[in-house]
């Protein structure tokens, strides 16, 4: 405990470096766990631009507590007792500095993300009104925690104010995420981990969110400067905004137009949403490498990375998400998992033709045999799970598939020619397993 206290009363450089390293590490883990390789169109960029708000308030809040607390350590209280100077004159530069740092840092990060989006050809006209609400709301959120740090630094000892101001934004984020986000007050949660590709927050919710955090920043700033009378008005505004959020709730609206596809190649044509265009070349290469393992008769007309938002996928179209790790619709293609998923989709697309009710009668043992073959072809052990929710094969099926793979190449080619034609026409009952 003595060492911990000495850390917060020692060198300010060591203090800020330590607090910054802890905040950077914790936020880095969180951002990495939800990261994707692209910034995509502007709606996606706007939602992801709130992720730095996990880190910025921790740094600025701790800095505000440190600077405000230093005045106490320098004997400012004794000096003010014999001086006509107002305490606000000492605290005002501190407050302005940390507020400017918090707002400026967030603006720089947002500008960098928006520029990255524009360089990818994003259409800014998609959500201009959202841009005018999301960015100021993020600045107000960062300013709120910076002002809280100054308030804590002025009111309590530095040994308590520094860790409390640094960790409060992080703890508050988790509390809001797990206990408030799904409630009627979910609109208060400003850090959005979703990609606004299909659904985006409504304008009334964003307006109420901006009003709430702006009023919160003004209230804490007034309290930090001991302006009790001034704090009453923004406090009232905060309560009104809170009531508006209760009425509006965490409302979202569906985008008026679905994400356009970008396609390349033919036989098959490979398509991804416009927002995923940066991965199209890699996705196309992975598709070709996988399909070359089977006869061309099995190749679909189209391969898409995700199901259409509206409508049903046609039998000639195969949906093959580029999944990687534990993320959904990620754009870091896992070669083995993608190949297995695409291979299984070549067979499972016949469900649309056969019908779900008759599928189990028609497919027989072919589905398990098919899944096992693809895993062995990718040098994966079919008896083990290689990712969450993975399928495992029975020992007898594994031996049967391994026996077939040990047959002469001519025998395997003859079977594949017959089987590929039957699967392409979804006449599964005519297939004889080797």
pLDDT digits (tens, 9 = 90+) for 81-102: 455 456 667 778 888 888 888 8
User: What pLDDT does 324 receive?
Assistant: 56
Lowest pLDDT segment from 29-33, 318-322, 429-433:
29-33
User: What is the band of 77 on the pLDDT scale with cuts at 50, 70, 90?
Assistant: low
pTM: 0.62
User: What is the band of 3 on the pLDDT scale with cuts at 50, 70, 90?
Assistant: very low
Would you give the DSSP letter of residue 388? T
What is the enclosing helix (H) or strand (E) of 29? Answer: helix 12-33
User: DSSP readout, 53-65?
Assistant: GGTHHHHHHHHHH
* 220 phi, psi to nearest 5 deg: -65, -35
User: What pLDDT does 24 receive?
Assistant: 58
pLDDT digits (tens, 9 = 90+) for 128-186: 677 788 888 989 999 999 999 999 988 888 888 888 998 999 888 888 888 887 778 88
User: What is the band of 7 on the pLDDT scale with cuts at 50, 70, 90?
Assistant: very low
Whether residue 97 contacts residue 83, with contact meaning beta carbons closer than 8 Å, is answered with: no
Q: How many CB atoms lie within 10 A of CB 201?
A: 24
User: DSSP readout, 188-214?
Assistant: G-----S-TTSEEE-HHHHHHHHHHHH
| Axis-axis angle for helices 2-9, 12-33 (nearest 10) | 100
């Amino acid at each position: 405990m003595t060492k911990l206290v000495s850390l917060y009363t020692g060198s300010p450089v060591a203090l800020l470096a330590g607090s910054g390293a802890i905040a950077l590490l914790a936020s880095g883990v969180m951002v990495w766990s939800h990261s994707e390789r692209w910034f995509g169109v502007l709606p996606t960029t706007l939602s992801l631009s709130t992720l730095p708000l996990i880190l910025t308030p921790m740094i600025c809040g701790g800095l505000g507590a440190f600077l405000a607390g230093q005045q106490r350590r320098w004997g400012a209280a004794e000096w003010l007792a014999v001086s006509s100077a107002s305490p606000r004159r000492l605290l005002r530069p501190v407050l302005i500095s940390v507020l400017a740092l918090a707002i400026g840092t967030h603006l720089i990060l947002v500008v960098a993300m928006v520029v990255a989006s524009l360089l990818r050809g994003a259409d800014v006209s998609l959500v201009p009104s959202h841009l005018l609400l999301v960015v100021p709301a993020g600045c107000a959120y960062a300013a709120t925690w910076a002002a809280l740090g100054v308030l804590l630094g002025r009111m309590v000892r530095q040994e308590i104010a520094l860790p409390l101001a640094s960790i409060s934004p992080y703890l508050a984020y988790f509390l809001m995420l797990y206990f408030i986000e799904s409630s009627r007050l979910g609109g208060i949660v400003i850090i959005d981990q979703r990609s606004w590709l299909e659904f985006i927050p409504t304008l009334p919710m964003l307006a109420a969110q901006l009003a709430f955090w702006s009023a919160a920043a003004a209230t804490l700033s007034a309290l930090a400067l001991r302006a009790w009378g001034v704090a009453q008005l923004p406090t009232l505004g905060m309560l009104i905004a809170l009531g508006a959020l209760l009425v509006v709730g965490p409302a979202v609206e569906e985008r008026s137009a679905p994400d356009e596809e970008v396609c390349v190649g033919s036989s098959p044509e490979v398509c991804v949403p416009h927002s995923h265009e940066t991965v199209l070349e890699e996705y196309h290469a992975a598709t070709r490498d996988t399909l070359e393992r089977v006869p061309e008769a099995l190749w679909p007309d189209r391969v898409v990375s995700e199901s259409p938002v509206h409508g049903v996928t046609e039998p000639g179209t195969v949906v093959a998400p580029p999944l990687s790790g534990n993320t959904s619709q990620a754009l870091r293609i896992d070669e083995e998992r993608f190949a297995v998923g695409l291979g299984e989709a070549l067979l499972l697309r016949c469900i649309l033709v056969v019908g779900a009710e008759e599928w189990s009668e028609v497919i027989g043992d072919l589905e398990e045999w098919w899944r096992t073959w693809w895993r062995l072809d990718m040098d994966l052990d079919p008896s083990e799970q290689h990712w969450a929710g993975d399928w495992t094969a029975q020992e007898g099926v594994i031996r049967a598939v391994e026996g077939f793979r040990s047959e002469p190449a001519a025998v395997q080619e003859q079977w594949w020619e017959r089987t590929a034609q039957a699967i392409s026409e979804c006449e599964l009952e005519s297939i004889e397993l080797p």
